[in-house]
Structure 1
Amino acid sequence: MRNREILSRQFRVVLELHRHPQGLSSEKLALRLGVSRATINRDLELLRERIGLPIERVRRTGEIWHRLRELPLSSVAATPLQVAALRLARDALAPLGGTALTGQLDALLALLPSEPAPLRGLDVAGKPQRSTAPIVRAIDLAMQEGKRLEILVRVAARGGEERRYVLDPLLLRVVNDDLYLFAWSHERKETRTFKVTRIREACVRDELADQHADLVPEEAFRGAVKAWSGSLTQVRVRIHPGVAWLVDEYPLVVGQEVLHEPDGSAIVTAQVAGLVEPLRWVLSWGRNAEALEPMALRQAVADELASALSIYGDLEVRSSKVSEPHEHSPSRARHPGPQSARRIEKSP
């Protein structure tokens, strides 16, 4: 099991203990998290011994319960560097604003000096976007209480048309400062991924959400380039010699295989979820990338480039030497047109 999945589960253990100040037994924790008692006991031991959390054992009704003991913070004297580190961490978690996680961090920061000493040599640039805290707060509440969620969202595949969905929320996923909701849609009878900034309204319904014990949300994104989920497909892309050295800096996916050819080019091979995001990645390299396989990806790239070229039909197309690559790294801001994207995959 991957480290991030273990950390996610252990945070859920701590969250459950926080929500139940009187404590919970290992059996009840295991039922709430859908894992075995042995797994819960291992997590509790690690949280006590390695992390140092004040989780005490209390005997109750003939069994051991676990309770998160509160510690006074009046004696905490944070250094300027520690305060700055906490504020930087809170800034990094900005997309999760409105969740219990950031709420606890905000409460801690409120106890610390309001004017941390500036640190030289650090520059943190945020990405401006509208506040989604009320939306995230509703999603987080639905997940904590095991309730269904109703949303009004703009659908990319339908030109931004607003639609309502009733969901069983399963996972909040942060990718490159963007927040996504992975959920079971009762209208579509399948899992869907929604970009949270496109959700206009969200409210918690009274009905309990279905458990979906057969679904492992983290597994849905195995092979995802960003937030797309789907069946795994092998893709191969050739990167031009002049920029092949950048493939590690701008990878398609973590774990991709890179074969450096004698001419200096690089062949990137990867297992990816769907073809929409690989299409965007290939296009971001411009003339310095060639999709080799599958043919569906190669055809989609050709269609997209032809469509883009048709816009400039009144201009003479001048050929240029491929041996003279662009000086700049691939742009992450480029996206394919909606037509070619829909030809190979449905938009979330």
Structure 2
Amino acid sequence: MLLAAVVAALIINNLQLHLPGTLTQGEGVTSLAQLKTDRELLFLCGTKQGSLWTFSFKDDGVQQHNKVQVTNGRYPIFSMAVDENDGTVFCGGSDRFVTVLAATHRDDNNHFIATELQRLGPHTGWVQDVFLASPNLLYSIGCNCIESWQKQSDRKWKPGKRFVIESDVAMGCTLSSDLLCLACRKDTLYAGGVDGRIHAFRKDEHSAVAAHKGRVNALMTTTIRGIDSVLTASHDGWVYQWKMQPDDQTRLERVQAFQSQERNTAILQIRLDKNDTEGCFVVGTSRGTILLLSDSMDLLQTFCLPEPVAITAFLHVPDAKMVLVAHSLGLGAFHYSS
């Protein structure tokens, strides 16, 4: 079956979910993660108010668990990462810390318990992204610095190497060297910046590409038709595929592109078969538009959330054939079939 035919019927319905028990208009969702426990699959929502909401889907609807205040109610949770091996949750906030939580047990009242283990920082600025490269290695962003953290035998995290990004007049990047997003492939770390650059780090090597004419709001690593790639989504409306050079993954070559009419703020990949040979990309924008793109960067489908909102993050739930959509007024979702 042709990919376009598969994805043309991909969307069954587009619905609006809300965090149960709270007015989402006052608590927009800024980050998403999921955690599989012995009993169920839990979904974690970090909000603009610094709250961590936990819920699960049941046959009769959505079950809400308890709400955890991570950043004292004043600082958004911009990013999250989860270690599925031991249930550790990492929350990056505008309080300039990564809050490390142990989230593995529930009490007799069916409430999910998250216990603070450690706070990593302070960073030089808001922790816009966190990335767990391995169970023992965590990366986090603070302004123009990438911090690395090593897990010790006592489960405490110790600071490691720091990468500092400077403005580059020669590349036309003079306004800001702040970073916004992280991704990793094998031993190479990638970061997208406010000034439109993509940075690549491998051991002591650092390279940068003037990739976009606007903020790189999201990036991810993937393989497209056998090509190891970096995908970037930017304020300038462009989505780019960058080919990693086989002999040096810090060297990137732009091979495909798609231009939307809005500012791109989030990106996600959906694979439609078990062999990962067919799939599509989901792109979210600052106006609540969701675009489905083929692996060839062709536009397959476009739809919008019911209200004009800024999309901040996606979370794919393959078993439910659903994508959760974090946005400035709360939480949305759409289902698909193939």
Which structure carries more strand by proportion? 2
State if a TM-score over 0.5 links the two structures: no
TM bin, normalised by shorter chain, reads: under 0.3
Provide TM-score, normalisation by structure 2. Answer: 0.26
Which structure carries more helix by proportion? 1
Larger Rg: 1
Provide TM-score, normalisation by structure 1. Answer: 0.26
